[in-house]
Amino acid sequence: MPSNNLIPKNDFYSGFLYNKLFDPFSNNMRDLICTLVPENTKVLDVGCGTGYQLLRMSHKIKAGVGIDLSNKMIAFALKQQAKKGIDHLSFELANADDLSQFDDNEFDLTTMTMVLHEMNTKLRIPALNEMVRVSKRLIIIDYAVSPGLFLSGCMHLIERVVGGIPHYHLFRSYLKDGGVPGLFRKIDLRIIREETALMGMVRVWVGEKI
Ligand X SMILES: C[S@@+](CC[C@H](N)C(=O)[O-])C[C@H]1O[C@@H](n2cnc3c(N)ncnc32)[C@H](O)[C@@H]1O
* Site map 116..155 versus ligand X, x via CB under 6 A: --xx---x--------------------------------
Rounded (5°) CA angle 149-151-153: 65
Closest CB 30 distance from ligand X, rounded Å: 8
Interface with ligand X (CB under 6 A), residue from 37, 53, 137, 139: 53
Q: Which of 69, 77, 132, 138 is in the footprint of ligand X by CB under 6 A?
A: 69
The nearer residue to ligand X, 2 or 181, going by C-beta atoms, is: 2
Check binding of 180 to ligand X (CB under 6 A).
Answer: no
Considering the complex, state which of residue 97 and residue 108 has its C-beta at the smaller distance from ligand X: 97
